[in-house]
Structure 1
């Protein structure tokens, strides 16, 4: 790691500490910019990751997309170019050296704007690529990230400059070795663009049954082509994707409401409570009731420690 990158990360780390103060995910005055701080190794967190750019300045994290593992730290950044159900866990953090990271969410229209204003060549018929990737951080990219974060010290500049610095960050990522995996989501007519539409449909209708032919027709693809491109982008089949969404939402409902597993199973689209319990145990490692009691106990211990 170069001395310049080390200094940029040090400056960014001080900003994250100053605007975080305590563990957790912290929104900032800049729309779509979040700071994350954790002083302990965390439990695996299951969530739908929105299109985003994430960079770590201290600590390490592991993200699983289906069975694929992405591990990254201060020398890397990670990008998700479409909504993806993932499992994330901070694997290196302590009270003396907390995990510190920054997340910037973005939209396909922002990517398209950068592509329109630049000379980056795009190919609408390129084969679809995985919608999540880790790349090595470069000083020019970090410079844009630091400039964006420093706007928090000058709030009056945010409306004008934040969009410009965000655009610069996305431009640097598009210029990087995995830029085509990001650009594919914004190019109308591309395989990835059509799969993105299917992903949005599944997310909005995760609790209802659908036929794979229905999804293929929506994407204007054959069934084999849909399967191939969907799996290339998300690392899972449409049915596996839907299952992850259902189980994540079920866990959230069980944690936030006083309700039983059978009721939640029906609410997220399962017809059989026993099947729900089996698949829940397979994904989270414990049956629903045991898992929720375990999580609540861990939360109480952390609050009271």
Structure 2
């Protein structure tokens, strides 16, 4: 890592510390920019990554997409180009050197705008790739990111300059080694673009059963092509994708509401409570009641610490 990159990361770390203050995910005054701070290695966390750029300036993190791992630290950045259910875990952090990171969310229309306004050569429509990747950080990208973060010190400039700096950041990512993966989400008619429509449909209807033929129709693909391209993009089948969404939502409901596992199973679309319990245990390591009891006990410990 060059000395220039090291110095810029030090400045970025100070900004994240200043505007975070405590562990957790923090919104900022810059739209779609989030800061993360964690002073200890934590348990795996489950959630859906929106299309986003993630940069770590201290510590390390690992993301699991199905069974595929993506580990990254200060020398790298991670990109998710579509909505993806993932497991994330901070694997290097301490009270002296906390994990510090930022996330910038974006939309396909922002990617399309950059492609229209630049001379980036667009790849073939059938060039389907995994919708998540890790790449080496570059000085030009980090420079644009730090200028975006510095806007927090001059809030009056955010409305005018944040869109410009965000556009530059996306331009740098598109120019990077794996930029072709990102551009595919914005190219109408590409396989990734069509799979994105299927992903959106499953997310909006995760609690309903579907026929694979319906999804193939949405994507304007044959059933076999849908299966192949969906797995290339997301590392899982449509059914597995839906299952992860259902189980993540079930866990959220069980934590936030006074309701039992059977009611939640039906709410998220399961017809069999026993099947729900089996699949929940497989994903989270314990049956629903025991898992929630463990999580609540852990939260109580934090509150009383």
- TM-score, L = length of structure 2: 0.99
Deviation at 1:303, TM superposition (A): 2.2
CA contact (8 A) 2:78 2:132 kept: yes
Deviation at 1:42, TM superposition (A): 1.2
Q: Secondary structure at the match of 1:82?
A: coil
Quote the residue 1:187 is aligned against: 187
Q: Secondary structure at the match of 1:207?
A: coil
Deviation at 1:136, TM superposition (A): 0.4
Quote the residue 2:66 is aligned against: 66
CA distance in 1, matches of 2:74, 2:42: 18
Deviation at 1:127, TM superposition (A): 2.4
Q: Structure 2: which 5+ runs fail to align?
A: none
Quote the residue 1:78 is aligned against: 78
Q: Secondary structure at the match of 1:102?
A: strand
Q: Secondary structure at the match of 2:97?
A: coil
- 1:210-221 aligned at under 5 Å gives the runs 210-221=210-221
Q: Secondary structure at the match of 1:194?
A: helix
Deviation at 1:126, TM superposition (A): 2.7
CA distance in 2, matches of 1:300, 1:177: 45
Deviation at 1:124, TM superposition (A): 4.7
Quote the residue 1:228 is aligned against: 228
- 1:272-287 aligned at under 5 Å gives the runs 272-287=272-287
Quote the residue 2:250 is aligned against: 250
* CA offsets 1:161-211 (integer angstroms, 9 cap, x no match): 100110111001000011011000000011100000000000000000000
CA contact (8 A) 2:125 2:187 kept: no
Deviation at 1:255, TM superposition (A): 0.4
Instruction: Name the Cα RMSD after superposition.
Output: 0.6
CA contact (8 A) 1:230 1:238 kept: yes
Instruction: Tell whether 2:24 aligns with 1:30.
Output: no
Quote the residue 1:144 is aligned against: 144
CA contact (8 A) 2:125 2:184 kept: no
CA contact (8 A) 1:124 1:189 kept: no
CA contact (8 A) 1:203 1:245 kept: yes
Instruction: Tell whether 2:20 aligns with 1:48.
Output: no
Deviation at 1:123, TM superposition (A): 3.2
CA distance in 1, matches of 2:237, 2:278: 19
Quote the residue 1:261 is aligned against: 261
Instruction: Tell whether 2:99 aligns with 1:99.
Output: yes
CA distance in 2, matches of 1:175, 1:272: 48
CA distance in 1, matches of 2:126, 2:6: 37
CA distance in 2, matches of 1:90, 1:123: 34
Q: Count residues in correspondence.
A: 305
CA contact (8 A) 1:53 1:105 kept: yes
CA distance in 2, matches of 1:79, 1:231: 18
Quote the residue 1:201 is aligned against: 201
* CA offsets 1:50-109 (integer angstroms, 9 cap, x no match): 000000000000100000000000000000000000000111111110000000000000
CA contact (8 A) 1:124 1:187 kept: no
CA contact (8 A) 1:60 1:71 kept: yes
* CA offsets 1:201-243 (integer angstroms, 9 cap, x no match): 0000000000001100111100000000000000000000000
Q: Structure 1: which 5+ runs fail to align?
A: none
Name the stretch that deviates more: 36-45 or 229-238: 36-45
